[in-house]
Amino acid sequence: MKDASPRTIYLKDYQAPDFAIDTTQLYFDLYEDYSEVTARLVISRSAENVVPQLVLDGQDLKLLSISINDCELAKDAYEIGEETLTLNFDKVIVEGFSQQNFILETKVRIEPQNNTSLEGLYKSRTMFCTQCEAEGFRKITYYLDRPDALSEFTTRIYADKSRYPVLLSNGNPVASGDLDGGRHWAEWHDPFKKPCYLFALVAGDLVAVDDEFKTQSGRDVLLRIFVEEKDRDKCDHAMRSLKNAMRWDEDVYGREYDLDIFMIVAVDDFNMGAMENKGLNIFNTSCVLANEKTTTDAGFQRVEGVVAHEYFHNWSGNRVTCRDWFQLSLKEGFTVFRDEEFSADMGSATVKRVEDVSLLRTNQFAEDASPMAHPVQPSSFIEISNFYTLTIYEKGAEVVRMIRTLLGPALFRKGSDLYFDRHDGCAVTIEDFIAAMADVSGRDFSHFMLWYQQAGTPKLKVTGDYNQTEKTYTLKVQQSCPATPESATKKPFLIPLDAALIGEQGRIAPSKVLEVSKEQETFVFHDVAERPVPSLLRGFSAPVNLDFAYSLDDLTRLMARDDDGFCRWDASQKMAIQVINNVIVSLANDPAPTVDKRYLDAFGEVLNQAITSLKNNDQTLDLAMIALMLQLPSEEYIAQQHSVVDVDSIHHARARVKRKLATTWYEEILAGYEYLNVPEIFAVDAASIARRTLKNTLLSYLVTSGREQAIDICALQLATATNMTDEIAALTALTHSASRYAVDQKGAALASFYSKWSDEALVVNQWFAVQATAPLPTTLNQVEELMKHPAFDANNPNKLRALVAGFCMRNPIAFHERKGKGYRFLADQIIQLNARNPQIAARLLTPLTRWRNYDEQRQGLMREQLKRISVTPKLSKDVFEVVTKSL
């Protein structure tokens, strides 16, 4: 349990450490009911003239011995606090001792087998593993647990040989050997200095899948993915992704791998996706294992993206690291930007952009509008674990993307080269990154820095005016930004607004990046031959809310004629939102409102275009884009457009529009489905994924029609699917359907799916998630029942994410049930998790922090649960911070 009286940490208080740990030698003695860690640290003073003390971090450690220069210390020479070990040099009586340079050795006892926080050294099933970022190393040994303390690590691990034949740590293997009593040992040395958050250790019974990579300078690197024997057949995709990422980073950023070995280990119990420990990445199984039978296309893409992300950290994060945790986005924003671009290059770039923007607009914009809003470079925090957010990651990536837009790709690359060269081996700040970009371009970034310092999503209100006689088109742009916790008033941002004009037949002028820097600005386009529709924020050139009063006719034109794929898709979404919003308004006094025909027609046009191209076997049409344009915006995204979220109306209006589309175009949807539902050799390339995405989008519409024929088709797909994408799509459509005919079949379908896949934990998680996200009144009961299922494990974050987060974060209509049962359920879970796994507990709180978005009754019910959580005894820092900031 962490500190009982949480303290706020401020960026402005940053001070460089007084000491450096030049080398770190670690000895781990691993046993079943305890483990011992000996740390031998060569320490030198790096600052003069300060108090004769050294304060090390440490938490939940039992100190067994402590010595300086190999002399045991007297009791009064050190002091053990709740989270610290303080050495009082004045009391150190050791011959020849100097504060300038000495060796500190400590030995501590810890209990990894009882560590359910999954931070520090812990056990995942039968294996020992670690997670140290951000501040988990202090649960392993006394240390300077801060990212600006870089040290050279040597690690020796002792363990039982039969249970733990594989012993791993960072860097290169040095030596190993056998011991009496069935034990053995291995030693690793990492030649690159690193902060302790990048330390890793693994001990387990694992098999390795091996490959190799030749770097651009001709060095051979051994690549090893360690998994349990049963998962040996699920490593190929991660390995291929890793090699692609290594090649890509050489080609696009000139970055080469630096050790002789690169390892990935898959573990079941992990708080997030994966961790970039130097040379020894530790992965959540969900982000590394993949094969067609058990993994959906989204799963394959996630593996590719996360493998690349962690690999890219070797430079953006490890070789050049963060000075302090306020700089987290320095490594995360930049690395997300890098992995997004990598995935775009590996598959369909437009689809990738649409997916990334969807995530950002749906979830990061919501965070920015919530009590947890914070700048990309926060100025304070209580618990850093709470700041691994969409703002740090996804908005951080958008900010880097804007820099590239402003500089152009060539200068951006020069800037990144300079950044890596200038700061290699150092712990630096976001300002250092920007300085490199400024130095190569001569551009002044002082105004741009507001993107790092001000939270909140700017709003761009744009109007357009065509002057027929002058042949000019004038855009008036006005920017504003809502207040956020750290500042009520905002200075105007520097916003790159990529814009073009679309005529009846297509783009009528080259696109250009307008730099909006003031509250109000006007831009004039000349020689505009016809009245255009503006294509704005092309490629989503800035993370802002765009407000332009497009008519349905304007949007139809953009959908058909815009040459920017993102804007084409966005037009389809804007159109759907207008239509759904109209239905919401009409629903108040008409139980069966009509759906605007222009939208039905536009949908039919996109659909027919796809059918024609399928019929003619025309490969030029991007079927993935078609699928995305046919999908309605999520309830969560629609909710964003409302100042008071009416969960029920949004759900019913959206469902109504979907049903109307499904019945209006039933025959066409069926025809499209049949063209696509043919036996194919499974592949995970962009074209194959596109075909499956479109097919399953169409299946979802078919089932929405409620027709028995459609449900039979769905059941047949479920029974005969040869890959998990098709199988889970059919299971989802069937399980989420409210039609009687489907309801009668779903029990058997779910039972047979479970018995088929009960040995595959990751598939069982999907089975949990499908049930938790069913938008039905019975779902909460179902979720409560499933929590008693033998396959559920409340200590496993993946299971919690599937069931609890699935229900509370991805099922608005069921979670926000009027009486507040969903809120109470969530609070119960958080109160229990608070003690066991504070990080996950705090993360699960997110939906309750958004209480201000709802009607008064729901607000009251949500706050009641927040208050209940806030008075829980021994509240962790993690939960404390989120609850108090949101109440």
Residue with tokens 């992300």: 309
Pairing of strands 321-322, 380-381: unpaired
- Nearer to ligand B3K (CB atom), residue 275 or residue 330: 275
**From Zn ion, ligand B3K, none, interface partner of 272 (C-beta below 5 to 8 A by class):** ligand B3K
Q: How far is the CB of 842 from ligand B3K (least distance, A)?
A: 10
Q: What are the residues facing 316 on neighbouring strands?
A: 320
Contact between residue 522 and residue 476 where contact means Cβ atoms under 8 Å apart: yes
> What is residue 493's DSSP assignment?
P
* Shortest distance in whole angstroms from residue 830 CB to ligand B3K: 18
CA distance 230 to 591: 54
Cβ of residue 327: shortest distance to Zn ion, in angstroms? Answer: 13
Residue with tokens 């499974």: 682
Binding region for ligand B3K (CB under 6 A) out of 25-33, 63-71, 267-275, 491-499 = 267-275
Query: Do strands 9-10 and 427-428 pair parallel, antiparallel, or not at all (unpaired)?
Result: unpaired
Spatial separation of the C-alpha atoms in residues 845 and 847, rounded to whole Å: 6
Long-range CB contacts (< 8 A, 24+ apart) of 472-476?
Answer: 472/524, 472/525, 472/526, 472/528, 473/501, 473/524, 473/525, 473/528, 473/532, 473/534, 474/522, 474/523, 474/524, 474/525, 475/499, 475/514, 475/522, 475/523, 475/524, 475/525, 475/534, 476/520, 476/521, 476/522
In whole angstroms, what is the distance from residue 828 CA to residue 321 CA?
Answer: 39
- Binding site partner of 810, from ligand B3K, Zn ion, none, Cβ cut-off 5-8 A by kind: none
Give the residue among 688, 700, 699, 771 at the shortest CA–CA distance from 735. 771
272 binds ligand B3K (CB under 6 A): yes
Judging by beta carbons within 10 Å of its beta carbon (0-12, 13-18, 19+), is residue 162 exposed, middle or buried? exposed
Residue whose structure tokens are 């394959």: 300
Between the alpha carbon of residue 56 and those of residues 17, 104, 322, 850, the distances in Å are: 11, 11, 19, 38
CA angle 548, 553, 558 (to 5 degrees): 70
- Residue 537: which residues within 8 A CB-CB, separation 6 or more? 460, 497, 498, 499, 544, 546, 567
Residue 26 Cβ vs ligand B3K, minimum distance, rounded to whole Å: 21
Our CB check for Zn ion shows the closer of 392 and 714 to be 392
From 730, 610, 738, 619, select the one nearest 665 (Cα to Cα). 610
Structure tokens, 505: 């037949």
* Closer residue to ligand B3K (CB): 275 or 546: 275
| In the complex, residue closest to ligand B3K by CB | 133
Name the minimum Å distance from CB 633 to Zn ion: 28
Note the Cα 309 to chain centre separation in Å: 10
If binding is defined by CB under 6 A, does position 275 make contact with ligand B3K? yes
Residues with catalytic function:
310
Token couple for 470: 């002058």
Residues 348-387 within binding reach of ligand B3K (CB under 6 A) = 385
- Min dist. Cβ of residue 109 to ligand B3K (A): 25
Would you say the C-alpha torsion 184, 188, 194, 200 has a positive or negative sign?
negative
Task: Rule CB under 6 A: choose which of 57, 228, 231, 276 binds ligand B3K.
Answer: 276
Size of interface with Zn ion, in residues (CB under 5 A): 2
Residue 670's identity, in one-letter code, is: L
The two structure tokens encoding residue 386: 């709470």
638 contacts ligand B3K (rule: CB under 6 A): no
Pick one of ligand B3K, Zn ion, none as the site partner of residue 133 (Cβ within 5 to 8 A by kind): ligand B3K
Nearer to ligand B3K, 384 or 584 (CB): 384
User: In terms of CB distance, is 130 or 723 closer to Zn ion?
Assistant: 130
Q: Residue 365: which of Zn ion, ligand B3K, none does it interact with, CB under 5 to 8 A by kind?
A: none
Residue 385 interacts with which of ligand B3K, Zn ion, none, CB < 5 to 8 Å by class: ligand B3K
Q: Quick count: other Cβ atoms within 10 Å of Cβ 220? A: 9
* Binder of residue 875, out of ligand B3K, Zn ion, none (CB less than 5 to 8 A by kind): none
CB of 512 to ligand B3K, least distance (A): 35
Regarding 200 and contact with ligand B3K (CB under 6 A), the answer is no
Residue 190: contacted member of ligand B3K, Zn ion, none (CB under 5 to 8 Å, by partner type): none
The two structure tokens encoding residue 236: 């190929």
Smallest separation (angstroms) from ligand B3K to the CB of 268: 17
User: Which option in Zn ion, ligand B3K, none does residue 765 bind, with CB closer than 5 to 8 A by kind?
Assistant: none
Q: CA triplet 459, 464, 469: central angle to 5 degrees?
A: 165
Verify binding: residue 237, ligand B3K, rule CB under 6 A: no
State which residue, 272 or 602, has the beta carbon closest to ligand B3K: 272
Q: How far apart are CA 145 and CA 139, in angstroms?
A: 10
Q: How far is the CB of 79 from Zn ion (least distance, A)?
A: 36
Q: What does 134 interact with, of Zn ion, ligand B3K, none (CB < 5 to 8 A by kind)?
A: ligand B3K
To the nearest whole angstrom, how small is the minimum distance from the Cβ of residue 197 to Zn ion?
Answer: 12
* Nearer residue to ligand B3K within complex by CB, 496 or 838: 838
Residue number with CB closer to ligand B3K (387 or 599): 387
Comparison of 133 and 148: residue with beta carbon closer to ligand B3K = 133
**Which one of ligand B3K, Zn ion, none interacts with residue 826, CB within 5 to 8 A by kind?**
none
Site for Zn ion in 398-457 (CB under 5 A): none
CA distance 430 to 329: 8
Cβ 309 to ligand B3K, closest distance in Å?
Answer: 5
Partner from Zn ion, ligand B3K, none binding residue 383, C-beta < 5-8 Å depending on class: none
Q: Between 317 and 336, how does the x/- string for binding to Zn ion read (CB under 5 A)? A: ---------------x--x-
CA-based max dimension of the chain: 95
- Restricting to residues 105-144, name those near ligand B3K by CB under 6 A: 133-134
> CA 66 from chain center: how many Å?
41
Task: Please select the residue that binds ligand B3K; options are 388, 412, 550, 566, rule is CB under 6 A.
Answer: 388
Choose among 311, 225, 227: nearest CA to 263: 225
The answer to whether the peptide bond before residue 683 is cis (omega within 30 degrees of 0) is no
Please, which residue, 118 or 477, has the CB nearer to ligand B3K?
118
> Which entry of Zn ion, ligand B3K, none binds 367, CB below 5 to 8 A by partner kind?
none
Using CB under 6 A, which residues numbered 278 to 337 contact ligand B3K?
309-310, 313, 332
**Min separation Cβ 877 and ligand B3K, Å:** 13
Reading the block at residue 237, the tokens are: 């995709």
- Cross-strand bridge partners of residue 459: 480, 545
Residues that bind ligand B3K (rule: CB under 6 A) add up to a total of 12
Q: Which residues share a beta bridge with 67? A: 72, 105
User: Site residues for Zn ion, window 334-363 (CB under 5 A)?
Assistant: 335
Which CB sits closer to Zn ion, 330 or 595?
A: 330
Nearer to ligand B3K (CB atom), residue 294 or residue 385: 385
Residues that bind Zn ion (CB under 5 A): 332, 335
Residues that bind ligand B3K (CB under 6 A): 133-134, 272, 274-276, 309-310, 313, 332, 385, 388
